[in-house]
Structure 1
Amino acid sequence: MRRALCPVEALYVGQRSRAVLSCEVRGRIDAALLARAFDEVIAEHPTLRARIVPDGAGHAFALLGAEERPRLNVRTGVDTAHGDELNDPLPVGGPLVRATLASDPAESAQQRHILVISVDHAVIDGHSAIAMQNAVWDRYRALVNGEPTAAPAREPGWPAPISSLLPPADEAVTAEHLRERLAEVRRYPVELLPYDGSGSGGRIEIRRLLLDAERTTALREFARAAGVSAHGLISAALLSVARARFDGDAPRVLGCLSPVDLRSRLVPPVPHTEMVAAVATHLHALPVAANPDPVALAREVTAHLRGAIARGEHLHDMRITPEVMRNPALQTATVIATNMGAVPGPRLPAGLELTDVRLVPGREHYFPQAGRSPLMACVVSFDGRLAVELPHHTACFSARFMRAFRDDLRSALLSLSAPNQLPA
């Protein structure tokens, strides 16, 4: 049983990117029941129990044998589990999902645990990744409570390729969109952040910015009062902090790559529970002054993204995805802001306390020899707390560079959420 990858899915085969979700809890966990919950969720989605195989000139999903399916791994060592999983690849040809439960060795009522789930981006996006994590905990809660769970009545079929669900379009219009996009990226090439890392060896690390519920609410209220989206405000802060890493007083052309959730815009709409990558990207290149007005910058970012969506450009960008491999500049940005918005955290059974939940993007390949690259920021608010995860490879960006970037970003966001900061 196979299904060919569509152009959007095929792009991730070369990129080797993945979503790494983690949920940290305190209390007693029944590892056998959690393993069963994970197995049942995997069984309901063919893409989660598949591998990527060659298929003519392209690739296809092929189901794993029963003995090859992803199973829950159990280990000790809560403190190192997240970093270990982040640095453990999901190679092409192997399972597309891996789950690990790490626990404290001590047996106590307040024992710590962390469940880390890594999923290949060819079969998942941020929203479906969160839905999958929550589904595992929902199933575990039901099993703990003795609620009945039922296997699918029949073998689930492959989800439809996202490319096949795009609204009809005139090929000439799409071709003209591609010509305009290529002309734009050639006319306004964006600058990338230069590396300061060791250039060899190293590992993937994360610098994290976390705001409490009060500061998160203040930031969102500030954005609303300024007439901008929270995404626009955070993107403006990212661009401002990135601009400070370039010298000179003249404006520098920087680029912001934003995700556009396609699920509600497909025919028919696709729910977040469908395990597919249903996201387009929007690149906005713009001159950024040495000391930009963050609100004015946020208004420009917000208006540009909203205008592009209103014109349907995100659908054309999805249709020209095959061109990205030949023209990487179509998706080359100074900062990548993957904003998931406000989402619910997992619901746990009685006796377990949720202490943290995270979504972090990861990659298998980094190229320190390139000398520069975009900087990734994964923005998500779990249960009202804003987090910005900044993954990086230490051979490219040093820990010192990323700590300073994170700290400057925090200062920028806190200054925007402080009272009386909105200009007249």
Structure 2
Amino acid sequence: MSNRRLAHSDLADFAAEYPDTGTEIKADRNNTGRPPGKVLSGDLASCAQQHSITVRSSPVPFNRTLAPSEAMHTASGFYTGYTTGVRGQLDQAALSAAFQFLRKTYPVLSCSITRDAMGGTSIGSEDDVSIVASLHGAQSDEPLAGFPDPGDRVTAVHVVRRGADLSWVTLLIHHAIADGAHGIQLLVDLWSFYADVVEDREIVVCSHPYPQSIEKILSDRSLTVDPAEAPGADQPPTLSMMTVDTRLTVEATNALVTFGHRTNATINSLVSAALLMATTEALDIGIGELVYTYSVNLRRRLIPPVGPAEGTNVLGIAQFTADVSAGKDIAALARAVTAKFSSDLAVGGVQHFYFHNIGDYMRSLPAMPGLPLWSTNLGKIPTLDSPADIAIEDFLISRYAQKPQFVTTSLSGGHIITTFNGQLNIWSTMPEIYASTVANRVRTLLTDLRIYFGRSVRRKME
């Protein structure tokens, strides 16, 4: 389709060129007023009739074998859910239309993952891959309550009603096609399209290229990557796990930022130090006995840089082991984490660890005490666009696995760090036997700063 603006009379042609505008709705008749089934292009057309829609390009057929950094997530069918807490009357039809516009903007979201007879995995575009926009009729505090198996689709949207005017809205994306930075960009654009639909703004659909693997990205920059096999995922967790949300207030987050400025430590390094200290205390081991591993977004660290949606999992892996003589000074430990990272990054260890050592690392997990200390920091979540009649009040990470028995311990045990609406959040999935202990200790380490410098310094910071 050439670059043009669609008039109302062009809607039939638009639907014909993009035939997969059907949206699967799995809903409770008594609570939603709409029976389960297929909502055809009429819903999208009824929204589109009120807007000017610009289509700048059409997706082209696409198929390729998944790279090891992508295929490692297929054994379990692992999806990351970017969940927003919404207050107000959510327009389900507008959300479905926004999701469809998102898929047209990022054609990879219309792909499916397939596995061949030899166990190889590939991703390819298919004209008849319908989208999943599901609605759970009963009220629930669980963001993924009632979520249907998405099959071989790589993305879905799920809505759970929490009350008369409260909803969880989750954008789920298969980890094989998007890491956190990529997923956050998709979430931002989903809500932007939703606001466009509801507030009668002009809608622009501009197709992005299909994202590349980190292997291809590094190869294109003449950075050597050794061939690697995707690590096996046949070692299930042996401990009962639970997820704990450690959320600081805005005031406590600001105080921690000030503390970091005064001590030459970043928020990420301070959280890393707190996780190390709390976990080793809970496991009753020396601080030098635990290997701290965390993912690093490489997009801005490559030349030329990589856009959020230009790659799938554009990640490096950093590791840190504290000196056995490390004391209880969280700022000193945080600076040590940063120093080790800077050194490894300079020699290429962060960029290449993922390919050279990850198989050995994954196989070594059962020998580690408890579970490995693993974290990823998604940074500050951007402001999400929303129309005047709703407010996006919360953000959290949800997880879904089609085959949870194949989720590796590194994915089951770990911490996701974000900042949303000025609040630092740490979502921790840990063995139930010490999850609460670690979470409470992390909160204390990050908020009761008097234990490091005394009450007078705390008063100055406040």
TM-score in same-fold range (> 0.5): yes
Quick check: 1:3–1:158 contact (8 Å CA) kept in 2? no
Residue-pair matches, total: 380
**Does the CA contact (< 8 Å) of 2:282 and 2:434 recur in 1?**
no
Deviations 1:385-417 (A, max 9, x none): 10001135xxxx22x632222111111111238
Corresponding position of 1:188:
none
Q: TM-score, normalised by structure 1?
A: 0.79
Q: Which range moved further: 264-273 or 307-316? A: 264-273
1:414 aligns to 2:447 (yes or no): yes
Determine the C-alpha separation between the residues in 2 that align with 1:420 and 1:261: 33
Partners of 2:145 and 2:160 within 8 A in 1: no
Distance 1:57 1:206, change over 3 A: closer
Q: Equivalents in 1 of 2:243, 2:67: separation in Å?
A: 31
CA separation in 2, counterparts of 1:350 and 1:311? Answer: 49
From 175, 189, 192, the counterpart of 1:121: 175
Query: Deviation of residue 274 (structure 1)?
Result: 3.6
Range that drifts further, 295-304 or 408-417: 408-417
Q: How does 1:188-337 map to 2 (within 5 A)?
A: 197=240, 205-247=242-284, 252-274=288-310, 276-288=312-324, 292-320=328-356, 324-325=358-359, 328=362, 334-337=372-375
Q: How well do the aligned residues superpose, as a CA RMSD in angstroms?
A: 3.4
> What secondary structure sits across from 2:438 in the alignment?
helix
Q: Which has the larger radius of gyration?
A: 2
- 1:196/1:372 CA distance change after superposition, 3 Å: farther
- CA gap of 1:370–1:14, structure 2 versus 1, over 3 A, is closer
The one-letter code matched in structure 1 to 2:212 is: A
CA contact (8 A) 1:336 1:374 kept: no
Residues 26 and 218 (structure 1 numbering): CA distance in 2 closer, same or farther, change over 3 Å? same
The higher relative CO (CA closer than 8 Å, separation ≥ 6) is in 1
TM-score (norm 2): 0.73
Greater displacement, 130-139 / 288-297:
288-297
Displacement of 1:144 in angstroms is: 1.0
Q: Deviations over 1:46-71 (max 9, x none)?
A: 322222223566321022443x3323
Q: Is there any run of 5+ residues in structure 1 with no aligned partner, and where?
A: 179-193, 198-203
Percent identical residues: 21
| CA-to-aligned-CA distance 1:148-201 (integer Å, 9 cap, x gap) | 21334xx65422332112131357xx79xx9xxxxxxxxxxxxxxx9763xxxx
Q: Which residue of 79, 82, 89 corresponds with 1:28?
A: 89
| 1:23-172 → structure 2 map (5 Å cutoff) | 23-54=84-115, 58-66=120-128, 68-84=129-145, 94-104=152-162, 106=164, 111-152=165-206, 157-166=209-218, 167-169=221-223
Residue by residue, what CA displacement relative to the aligned partner does 1:345-393 show, whole Å, maximum 9, x if unpaired? 312111212221113455556669999998311000013210001135x
Question: Separation in 2 of the partners of 1:3 and 1:78?
Answer: 41
User: Is 1:389 aligned to 2:450, yes or no?
Assistant: no
Deviation at 1:301, TM superposition (A): 1.0
User: Is the contact between residue 23 and residue 115 of structure 1 (CA under 8 Å) also seen in structure 2?
Assistant: yes
Q: SS of the counterpart of 1:38?
A: helix
CA contact (8 A) 1:378 1:388 kept: yes
